[in-house]
Amino acid sequence: MSRWHKKGLLVVTILLISFLAGCAYKSVDKRSFVVSVGVDPAENDDDRYKVTLKIAKPIASLRQATETEYTYLTTEAETVSEAIRILETHNDKVVDFSQAKILAIHHELLSGDLQLLMDYFTRRGDIQLIMYVAAAKPSAEEVLKVEPILEAAGENTLYNFFDDTGTESPFVTTSFLFEFRRDVLTFGKDAVLPIVRTSKNKDELVINTALVIKENHEPVDLNRTQTKLYNTFMEGANGYGYQAHNSGYIFTLTFDRAKMNYKLGIVPGQTPQADIKVKAVGAISQSNKTLSLNRLPEYSEVTNKELSKEMEKLFKKMQKEKVDPFGFGLRYRATRFHTDQIEEDWNEIYPDLVFNVQSDVKLKSLGAIK
């Protein structure tokens, strides 16, 4: 009867399993998907954080939907997790964070202790580490609530900004959650977050500046030019919008490729030096004068001077503010064997570091006219 025994065993197993099953069974229409999370300082003195969740409403037919369908939940609490727990009671469906793509943090929160703020997001396994992190001005709630006119149903404008499938502007810094965590925790490199601002009438989002963030340190603002330079040479962004004013020329340039290499020349007893080489290939897209093809090397030279100057200014500013978004400190650690006082050494070296910027821009074309 062994065959019958086997069959019996199978039936019993299946029955047992069927009783067990079903506890994790949550149909997709019984979940509400959080697409963005915003964290602000609390207005109420008893609490610490104000958390805003942007939740996508399921739409039966995306094609026929005329406007975007989002709903917002906001509450205040002592910690982020507590706020989210409260918000879960405001909703009849399971709050699902697995599709959350944007984490907007109020710019003032970025100066204090980041540990408590970030812990929840990196500890939860179901929150993706490739979430985009951004600093929000005037507040995360207002930034999330902007629904631009150009936004179609089912779309998330903020996401289109960061994700490279939409706009690819050299002004937009992107920072993934894992990158942000890594850079904040690393000695010798500081994180850079984009600043997302709302326009005056609150129907547009503007992203063209950035913020350098170091734990327990005031965030340092990068202006538009600096943001652009950082994005171009650290994140490999390129495109329109580089300007060169020099020797009477005013150029607007497009870069196709750009990269930066640097070497630290640090010998005890000598002034520490950083030799920075900046390379770019591009074209002129606008000029205030008539140009001639055979003078391209000259235009390149004009650009070089301008670029070197700008870069040096940026490095010096960072040095003065005691932040290091370019990772010079990490490079220092990466090029010599570890000792216990390596971090203090670097803290002493960095303020005296001299930057020698050498730029090598190769302009290849003048566009369609001379």
Partner 1 sequence: MPDSTPVFPPYMKSLQDALGSSSDVVQLPLAINKAEAQLLFVKTVVEGSIMQDTIIKPFYEIADTEKFAEYLNGMPNHLQIPDSEEVLKKLVQGFVLIYCNENYLLLEIRKLKNTVPLQTVLESTIHGPQSAFSEDLETNIGIIRQHYHQPDLFIETMELKDLSSRAVALAYDRKKVNTQVLRRLKEQLRQIDEPLIQSAGDLAIRLTPRKLNIFPVSLLTERPDRTIYNITGGKIIVIVDGSPFVIMAPVLFFDFMVSMEENYHTFFISLFNTILGWTGLMICLLLPSFYIAFASYSPEVLRTELTLSIAGSRIGVPYPTFIEVLIMLLFVELLTEASIRLPKSINATATTVGGLILGTASVEAAIASNILIITIAAVAIANFVIPINELSFAIRICRILLIAFTSLFGLIGLISGFLFIIIHLVNIDSYGQPYLRIPWRDKSSEKEVGSG
Partner 2 sequence: MNRFLYYLVFLNMMAIITTPIPSLLLIGAHGGAIPTMVLGLFTGMLISFFFLKFFNKFPGRDYTELLKAYTSNYLRVPVTIYFAIVWYLAGTITLVMLTFLLITFLTPEMSIYLIAISILITVAFGVLLKSKSVLFAVEIIVFLVVPIAFFLFIKLYSSSELDWDQVRTSLMYSNSVPKYGVFTATLFSFSGIANLIVFNRYFTKRNTNHLGAVLIIGLFGVFTLVTTYFIPIGLNGFDQVDRLIFPWTSAADSVRMKYGIVERAVFLFMLFFVAISFMSITVHWHVSYKLIQSLIRIDKLQMRNNNWTPFLTVAVFVAVAIYLTVWLTQYQLYTYSAYYFNAIPIFIIVWAVTMFAVKRGHDNEPLA
Tell me: does residue 28 bind partner 2 (CB under 8 A): no
Residue 186 touches which of partner 2, partner 1, none (Cβ within 5-8 Å per kind): partner 2
DSSP string, 294-347: GGHHHHHHHHHHHHHHHHHHHHHHHHHTT--TT-HHHHHHHTS---TTHHHHHH
Query: What's the first-to-final CA gap in the chain, in angstroms?
Result: 94
DSSP string, 150-207: TPPTT--HHHHHHSTTS---TT----BHHHHHHHHHSTT--EEEEEEEE-TTSS-EEE
**Candidate list 70, 178, 240, 249; residue touching partner 2; CB under 8 A:** 178
Tell me: does residue 156 bind partner 1 (CB under 8 A): yes
**Candidate list 81, 99, 186, 243; residue touching partner 1; CB under 8 A:** 99
**Is the CB of residue 55 less than 8 Å from the CB of residue 33?**
yes
Q: What is the DSSP letter of 60?
A: S
**Candidate list 1, 4, 24, 269; residue touching partner 1; CB under 8 A:** 24
Assigned token pair, 354: 């001299």
Residue 289 touches which of partner 1, partner 2, none (Cβ within 5-8 Å per kind): none
Nearer to partner 1, 18 or 290 (CB): 18
How far is CA 262 from each of CA 125, 194, 265, 288, 358, rounded to the nearest angstrom?
37, 24, 10, 33, 10
CA dist., res. 191 & res. 185, Å (int) = 9
Tell me: does residue 56 bind partner 2 (CB under 8 A): no
Residue 331 touches which of partner 1, partner 2, none (Cβ within 5-8 Å per kind): partner 2
Residue 163 touches which of partner 2, partner 1, none (Cβ within 5-8 Å per kind): partner 2
**Candidate list 18, 44, 66, 165; residue touching partner 2; CB under 8 A:** 165
Residue 28 touches which of partner 2, partner 1, none (Cβ within 5-8 Å per kind): partner 1
Tell me: does residue 165 bind partner 1 (CB under 8 A): no
Q: How far is the CB of 29 from partner 1 (least distance, A)?
A: 4
Element at 35 (helix H, strand E):
strand 31-41
Nearer to partner 1, 81 or 160 (CB): 160
Element at 280 (helix H, strand E):
strand 273-287
Q: Where in 179-198 is the site for partner 2 (CB under 8 A)?
A: 179, 181-183, 185-189
Tell me: does residue 17 bind partner 2 (CB under 8 A): yes
Assigned token pair, 80: 């982020």
Does 138 sit behind a cis peptide bond, omega within 30 degrees of 0 on the bond before it?
yes
- Per-residue contact flags (x/-) with partner 2 for residues 230 to 249, judged by CB under 8 A: ------x-------------
Assigned token pair, 293: 């093809």
CA dist., res. 70 & res. 231, Å (int) = 31
**Candidate list 125, 248, 268, 269; residue touching partner 2; CB under 8 A:** 125
Q: How many CB atoms sit inside 10 A of residue 9's CB?
A: 10
How far is CA 56 from each of CA 75, 101, 266, 341, rounded to the nearest angstrom?
18, 12, 53, 50
Stretch that binds partner 1, among 21-29, 243-251, 259-267, 295-303 (CB under 8 A): 21-29
Binding stretches for partner 2 (CB under 8 A)? 1-2, 5, 13, 17, 20-21, 23-24, 26, 125-126, 128-130, 163-165, 176, 178-179, 181-183, 185-189, 236, 327, 330-331, 333-338
Binding stretches for partner 1 (CB under 8 A)? 17-18, 21-22, 24-29, 31, 33, 35, 56, 58-62, 96, 98-99, 101, 126, 128, 154, 156, 159
